[in-house]
Amino acid sequence: MNVRTIRFKWTAALVLFLCVCCGMPAVFADEPKQQSASFADPTAELPKDGSVQWDGEVYIAPFARVVTSAGTRVQLGARSNVQDNAVLDASRNDIVLGEGAIIAHGAMIKSSRPAAVAAETGRPGYGNPGIDALERYMAAHPSAYKWGALPAFVGFNAVVDGANVSDGSMVMHMAMVGPGITIKSGIKVLAGKRVRTQIEADDPARGKVVYLSEKDVEFMNGVVEVNTALAAGYSQLAREQISFVRGIGYNPGLVPGNEQRELPTVGGVKTRQPDTGTYRYRIIGNVTIGDTHGIRDRVSLRADEGPVFRIGAANRFLGANTFHALQHTDISAGDRVILEPNAIVHGGAGEHLKEGRRTEIGDGTVIGAGSVVFASRLGSNVRVGANSLVMDSVIPDGTVIPPGEVWSGGRKLYKVEW
């Protein structure tokens, strides 16, 4: 590490400290020749004691939380991102996010032991079919990644407690990885699985993990690229006017397929409202919503990647909910939809979706606390039980999905293991 990099890191930490103390978003330029920036949404909760150290091009999304205690620290590597309502809890030990670490919506990194995501510095001394996929991808994209700078992914509402998620590995949605475990490069923990032992983490025959594919690597690359663009775009918005990054307001543009700034439409009226009143929430970009009366604290409706959200009236979003979508995909929700606390709706692509890209939630549907709906069509009056995952599915009207289940392709696969 050279003197210039050290100077930037400590300058970034000082700027972050001052911004948090003053209630301002943390926005700072990276080394001048790179023309890059890091950004923390004003709603993000960050320590005020300088215990968070930043590299460049970091994005911290609405309502993310970082917790430290005396003597612990959090390191945020270059091009890492901590998404909406995610938590980095370093109250017991340090947490290190390396270059390209992805902490997705609602995920939690805990610290019963020191925890790390994407923090390796070189090629591991072992091999597996997932590493072969990583190296094929690197060979085909020589300017994109190299060992020591590969992304790693922790999915929606997943939990990693005192574990190491290596470069080029994934912990999928609503999975849990326990203390002392290393998820090795080339390994993907399956959605909803709980990994308690190292042999479960290493051996696909145990039913908890599979080997990474080149498609997985391409997905992680896309997430890093988008969030790097969002860090730059929100930084620019904040420099223009701080109120642009508060409450109901603009998306930054800059994302392919969502290049233009848009304001949300609330009750038929284009709206920019930095102060949302009693409840703190964020509505960003081309979101059309019937009303906001049922929105509670820590709700993020963020159309800054996927370009179009259409949400009806008389809905109730009860807290710490996220609507987000992958590039070139949309979300549509009807009237009287209820999202219980910590429920997530995320758009994706698939032939089972209208136009191959529209996630839909029908009228009167209830998504239970802690549940995730991804790239799916839910009919009217569907009930998704608490802590369930529905992905890549078409669910008919009136279906009841019990609590704690993983569904894909319109059918139950297995129970969530924790």
What is the structure's pLDDT at 125? 94
Same fold across 3-222 and 248-415 = yes
Greater model confidence, 149 or 411:
411
279-310 pLDDT, tens digit each: 999 999 999 999 999 999 999 999 999 999 99
| Residue-range domain boundaries for the chain | 3-222, 248-415
The answer to whether 402 touches 388, Cβ cutoff 8 Å, is yes
What is the structure's pLDDT at 401? 98
The answer, yes or no, to whether residue 25 has pLDDT greater than 90, is no
The answer, yes or no, to whether residue 32 has pLDDT greater than 90, is no
Tell me the average pLDDT of the chain. Answer: 92
Nearest to 106 by CA among 54, 167, 62: 62
Looking at domain 248-415, its CATH architecture is 3 Solenoid (2.160)
Q: What is the mean pLDDT of residues 246-250?
A: 98
What is the structure's pLDDT at 17? 43
> Any residues with CB less than 8 A from the CB of 265 and at least 6 apart, and which?
271, 287, 288, 289
> Any residues with CB less than 8 A from the CB of 212 and at least 6 apart, and which?
130, 133, 134, 168, 169, 170, 186, 187, 188
> Any residues with CB less than 8 A from the CB of 94 and at least 6 apart, and which?
72, 73, 74, 75, 111, 114, 115
What is the structure's pLDDT at 121? 85
The answer, yes or no, to whether residue 12 has pLDDT greater than 90, is no
Q: What is the mean pLDDT of residues 46-75?
A: 95
What is the structure's pLDDT at 131? 97
DSSP class of 270: E
87-135 pLDDT, tens digit each: 999 999 999 999 999 999 999 999 999 999 999 889 999 999 999 999 9
Contacts 24+ apart (CB under 8 A), 364-367: 364/334, 364/335, 364/336, 364/337, 365/334, 365/337, 365/338, 366/337, 366/338, 366/340, 367/337, 367/338, 367/339, 367/340, 367/343
The answer, yes or no, to whether residue 225 has pLDDT greater than 80, is yes
| Residue 17: strand, helix, or coil | helix
pLDDT tier at 27, thresholds 50, 70, 90: low
157-188 pLDDT, tens digit each: 999 999 999 999 999 999 999 999 999 999 99
For 27, half-sphere exposure in the C-beta direction (CA atoms, 13 angstrom radius) is: 19
pLDDT tier at 145, thresholds 50, 70, 90: confident
CATH superfamily, region 3-222: Hexapeptide repeat proteins (2.160.10.10)
The answer, yes or no, to whether residue 3 has pLDDT greater than 90, is no
The answer, yes or no, to whether residue 218 has pLDDT greater than 70, is yes
| Degrees to nearest 5, angle at CA 34 with 30 and 38 | 35
Q: What is the mean pLDDT of residues 190-210?
A: 98
**What percentage of the chain reaches a pLDDT higher than 90?**
88
Q: What is the mean pLDDT of residues 254-268?
A: 96
The answer, yes or no, to whether residue 8 has pLDDT greater than 80, is no
SS3 for 332-394 is EECCCCEECCCCEEEECCCCCCECCCEEEECCCCEECCCCEEECCEECCCCEECCCCEEECCE
The CA radius of gyration of the chain, in Å to the nearest whole number, is 20
Its pTM stands at 0.93
